[in-house]
Amino acid sequence: MLDLQQIRRKLHQIPELGFQEKKTQQYLLEIIKTLETDKVSIKLWETGILVFVEGKAPTKTIGYRADMDGLPITEQTGLSFSSEHDGKMHACGHDFHMTIALGVLEKIILKPMNDHCLFIFQPAEEGPGGALPLLQSEAFQPWRPDIVFALHIAPELPVGTVASKPGLLFANTSELFIDFAGKGGHAAYPHLTKDMTVAASSFVVQMQQIVSRNVNPLEASVVTIGKMESGFVQNAIAETARLEGTIRTQHPDSINIVKNQLEKLMKGFEIAYDCKIEVDYGANYYQVYNQAEQVKEFRQALAGSNVHYQEAEAAMTGEDFGYMLKEIPGFMFWLGVDSAYGLHHAQLNPDEAALNVGVEAVHLTFSKLSQ
């Protein structure tokens, strides 16, 4: 049997950013090869892996997706198996997601389901997005599943609990990169410069009114700036500034409302601060919308097991798995991992007891869907 704790710890030590998951791919592949039988086929796609397990009496293919990338965050957990890659961390639980997928893969290879099962180890969920190009890839087409599902760790839920809901689970998202260019100069001569630190700071404050004054308050939306950069030295006025953030909306149309208003604000700021402002929307993800039928089957699959189901609320997190659910019926669920620190925090520390719960929940779901 695979040692899931050891696998998770190894994966945790080697986080890589989107489409750079070479070591991760290699490590996963080594493990998958130890499980391989004549019923198993493996394909590489970019830095991802597809593993197809033939069913005994197939009528369809059931897909399960695990994302692979880490985040550009410096780990501060102090764990003995902390990240070995400076400035990178599995701070969104993808080490858990991959490990659980391997645990279920092992079970299904040992005792195949009636239906075909496809395991999708997908790169670049945090950005720039691996799900959409994978869906469109040649590699995917022959094994395209009829149903697809996935999980995401939930730090705020106790171990032993999962949560989901029919309909909207995660938001529509767009990354946001805004560059300001003005005229720098000596700190003592502000009247001879166009200060981009002041322009960008003021922009951050102003843009917080976009949602509250333009989007229907019943359709939740969020604009967050997570990173701000400007200037080089304490006694010079900054010639450039950069804001990096994200837009999240529960309604697919609201994202364009926010973008339009943002661009109007940019034009006003260009005049007011005598500068140039450019925006790049980076990666955009479609909402995660769960099919009621599959959520019902998930609940039925867990009935009588040790895994407790609870109804989730929609969240403003994003997931490129939304693109898979746009084309293929299925659902996503939260897996409780009980961490005092949340997703994208440098001290996120999920409880490893949740690994077996995840394996149980996913395996029971495969069994139910494959009846």
Ligand X SMILES: CC(=O)N[C@@H](CCC[C@H](N)C(=O)O)C(=O)O
Can you tell me the distance from the alpha carbon of 149 to that of 290, in angstroms, rounded to the nearest whole number? 9
Asked about 125 being catalytic, the answer comes back as: no
318 lies in the site for ligand X, by CB under 6 A:
yes
**Please, what is the minimum distance in Å from the beta carbon of residue 151 to ligand X?**
11
117 marked as part of a ligand binding site:
no
Residue 243-272 contact track with ligand X, rule CB under 6 A, x = bound: ---x--------------------------
Min. distance of Cβ 285 from ligand X in angstroms? 6
Residue (of 20, 17, 12) closest to 75 by Cα position: 12
Are 126 and 226 a contacting pair, CB within 8 Å? no
240 binds ligand X (CB under 6 A): no
Q: Which of residues 156-175 bind ligand X (CB under 6 A)?
A: 173, 175
119 or 170: whose CB is closer to ligand X? 170
Is residue 285 a contact residue for ligand X (CB under 6 A)?
Answer: yes
Q: State whether residue 170 is helix, strand or coil.
A: strand
Q: Smallest distance, Å, CB 198 to ligand X? A: 26
Q: Which of 40, 153, 283, 312 binds ligand X (CB under 6 A)?
A: 283
Whichever of 55 and 70 has its CB closer to ligand X, that residue is: 70
Provide, rounded to whole angstroms, the least separation between the CB of residue 274 and ligand X. Answer: 31
Site string for ligand X, 117-136 (x = CB under 6 A): ---------xx---------
Is 199 a residue that touches ligand X (CB under 6 A)? no
Catalytic residue among 75, 106, 115, 126: 126
What's the DSSP call for residue 162? Answer: E
| Catalytic site includes residue 352 | no
Long-range contacts of 108-111 (CB under 8 A, 24+ apart): 108/53, 108/363, 108/366, 109/35, 109/36, 109/37, 109/39, 109/40, 109/53
| Largest pairwise CA distance in the chain | 79
Please say whether the beta carbons of 265 and 120 come within 8 A.
no
Q: How far is the CB of 282 from ligand X (least distance, A)?
A: 7
Cα 139 to its chain centre, rounded Å, is 22
CB of 24 to ligand X, least distance (A): 17
Nearest-5° Cα angle at 206, 201 to 209: 145
Is 344 a known ligand-binding residue? yes
- Write down the catalytic residue from 16, 21, 67, 75: 67
Strands ordered across the beta sheet of 116-122: 40-45, 48-53, 116-122, 61-67, 147-154, 330-336, 161-164, 308-311
Q: What are residue 66's DSSP bridge partners?
A: 121
Give kind and range of the element (H or E) at residue 242.
Answer: strand 240-249
Query: Is 94 known to sit in a ligand binding site?
Result: yes
Is residue 152 involved in binding ligand X (CB under 6 A)? yes
**Rounded-to-integer distance, Cα 292 and Cα 331, Å:** 8
Would you please indicate which residues are annotated as catalytic (active-site) residues? 67, 126
- Binding positions are 92, 94, 126, 152, 344
Residues that bind ligand X (CB under 6 A): 92, 126-127, 152, 173, 175, 246, 283, 285, 317-319, 343
Q: Please enumerate, by residue number, every residue annotated as part of a binding site for Mn(2+).
A: 92, 94, 126, 152, 344
